[in-house]
Structure 1
Amino acid sequence: MLTQSQYEEYKFVCRLDHIKTFYAAIKSICFSDFGTLQASEDGLLITVEQGKSIQATIFIAPAFFAEFHIQDSQSFSVKINVLAECLSLFGLADCGIKMLYKGEGSPLLILLEPHDDEQVSTECAIKTTNVEEPMEYELDANSSSLNTIFMRGPDLSNIFHELDKAAEEYEFTISPLKPHFKIATLGVMQAESSVEVAKSSDMIILFNCRETTVAQYKSQQIRLTNKALQVATKVAIKTDASGLLELHFMMQSDDQEEMYVRFFITPLLEVN
């Protein structure tokens, strides 16, 4: 624990006793060069974007941390792959981690302490840059076309495993009528594969749909969610008539605290 005088030197301090879930979340969004970190009293947001077509955000509530201290809101950018590399310095060893930030122009300090060797620790300083505000994506919660599905992560992962790996596009259909939830692919040779899931299926935890929505997405963008999906216990799928796709991946630590990774994916084209 830092002393009160040491706290005053830093604008942001947080500590996790176990790194596993945090590292998995960071690895799941390493598809672009830079990530934006936004720390506030509400928690920590880490956002990565690729063009104007896909955005991923990790949200970690203060309760997830063993220690969370913030002076005003702080925003800065770091190379996300460098952050991931720092977190993996001790391989698969269980580590505690502390992150410290003094303010604009200062590096992000990472302190790692393996639990199996109290004599070993390491410190990394990651250069920070001024933040570029992330794009703002949001589905209209009041829209009559807003559809929401909650599924178990392993079940959705199995569905994607069954689909054509060479597909160029994915088409999502959510409807109050059969097929209630359908994911179809369109490959190079125009060959289609699809999986349908009824709302009464054991795979579905919640199904809320009033209007049929159909939209297509680049398969490459959908595949960027694979790492998050592989470690998610539950997934929320949301979309509306605009075709904007929102995916929430819930990850649980060993002590059952929850961390979320959210993806927004813009549609390839409109389907009438």
Structure 2
Amino acid sequence: MQHSKVLYEKGIIKNRKMLTQSQYEDYQMACHLKHIKTFYSSIKAICFSDFGTLEANEDGILISVEQGKSIQATLFISAAFFAEFRIDGSPSFSVKINVLAECLSLFGLSDCSVRILYKGEGSPLLLLLEPHDDDQVSTECSIKTTNMEELMEYDLDANSSSLNTIFMRGPDLSNIFHELDKAADEFELTISPLKPHFRITTLGVMQAETSVEVAKSSDMVILFNCRETTVARYKSQQIKLTNKAMQVASKVAIKTDASGLLELHFMMNADDQKEMYVRYFITPLLETEDN
């Protein structure tokens, strides 16, 4: 496969069944996931740009992807999610995100475990995949890394009087967006302490509008915290980039303030109920862009 190669025969990995302590010491990052399904789904959810940046520390791993200066997605995998997690320092690098996803899918729908290894600057990212239904088969991939690309910094002020937060059930929000006009050019999000509380409006060709309203008392809503009414519009293609994450999320957090910056958290549960999440920042349309 392009961008990957077998490593065992070349002696890079000394034991395809077990890494010894001495081998671990050769790596800045050595992690083991027993099941890759949720990890793979999360990686696929952020495959909308060529490169992703990976940062690791004792708390876990962050993988971030950007498109221009208008949308940023970050996958966070807690250290607790891993069966084994060893980090030396704070390794960081950029990697082709689609190649990473392709390597993780080599065994198709078969449940696999994966070891993720990285020696340090200039070294490739190594993946060791082993399907659970066949202990005679394994695949080892090497993915080229480059120096970490600088990321945009986005943040919502937690002390802002206009900060609004909604937690919703993932399948319910996914169904709402599925029902909305797929040909829409823009999405408008309104969050208000007054009815309708939460409204999603699409604006399409010839200024045609459709909308869905969700009351804060709805069974879809887990938490509703709104101080001031906020209204902002976003390009539909940017909202649609969250679809894959939304479709597999158990819960979704929606945050915004008077600036219009939209922060979305998609929580995903593995079979053992441990969570990983993908966070998106989406910048609003300026008034000049609406006209």
Both proteins in one fold, TM over 0.5: yes
Q: Deviations over 1:102-143 (max 9, x none)?
A: 000000000000000000000000000000121111100000
Aligned-partner SS, 2:42: helix
Match of 2:8 in 1: none
**Map of 2:29 onto structure 1:** 12
Distance in 2 separating the partners of 1:3 and 1:164: 55
Which one of 174, 193, 203 corresponds to residue 220 of structure 2? Answer: 203
Correspondences of 1:25-174 after superposition (within 5 Å): 25-174=42-191
Partner residue in 2 for 1:226: 243
Offset, 1:189? 1.7
Gaps of 5+ in 1: none
Distance 1:55 1:200 in 2: 31
Q: Aligned residue for 1:181?
A: 198
Question: What TM-score, normalized to structure 2?
Answer: 0.92
Residue matched to 2:271: 254
| Gap runs ≥5 in structure 2 | 1-17
- SS class of match (2:212): strand
In the alignment, the residues of structure 1 paired with residue 178 and residue 60 of structure 2 have an alpha-carbon distance, to the nearest angstrom, of 34
1:38 partner SS: strand
Q: Which residue of 1 aligns with 2:14?
A: none
Is residue 249–residue 260 contact of structure 1 (8 Å, CA) maintained in 2?
yes
CA contact (8 A) 1:149 1:238 kept: yes
Give the deviation of 1:185 after TM superposition: 0.5
SS across alignment from 1:200: coil
- Contact in 2 for aligned 1:217/1:269 (Cα 8 Å): no
For residues 233 and 92 of structure 1, the distance between their equivalents in structure 2, rounded to whole angstroms, comes to 21
Question: Per-residue deviation at 1:4?
Answer: 2.0
- Greater shift, 30-39 or 4-13, is seen at 4-13
Instruction: Give the counterpart letter for 1:202 in structure 2.
Output: D
Percent identical residues: 83
For 1:21, the equivalent position in structure 2 comes to 38
User: Which residue does 1:236 correspond to in 2?
Assistant: 253
Where does residue 285 of structure 2 map in the other structure?
Answer: 268
Amino acid at match of 1:180: H
- Cα deviation, 1:25-67, whole Å, max 9, x if unaligned, reads 0000000000000011111000000000000000011000001
Amino acid in the other structure paired with 2:25: E
Range 155-164 or range 44-53, more displaced: 155-164
| Counterpart residue type for residue 102 of structure 1 | K
In the other structure, the counterpart of 2:13 is none
How far, CA to CA, are the matches of 1:135 and 1:102 in structure 2? Answer: 27
Superposed displacement of residue 7, structure 1: 1.3
Is the CA contact (8 Å cut-off) linking 1:247 and 1:262 kept in structure 2? Answer: yes
Distance 1:68 1:134 in 2: 25
Q: How many residues align structurally?
A: 271
Letter matched to residue 225 of structure 2: N
The CA RMSD over aligned residues, in Å, is 0.9
Task: Give me the whole-angstrom Cα distance separating, in 2, the residues matched to 1:31 and 1:72.
Answer: 29
TM score, norm. by length of structure 1: 0.98
> CA-to-partner distance for each residue in 1:236-267, whole Å, 9 max, x for gaps?
00000000000000000000000000000000
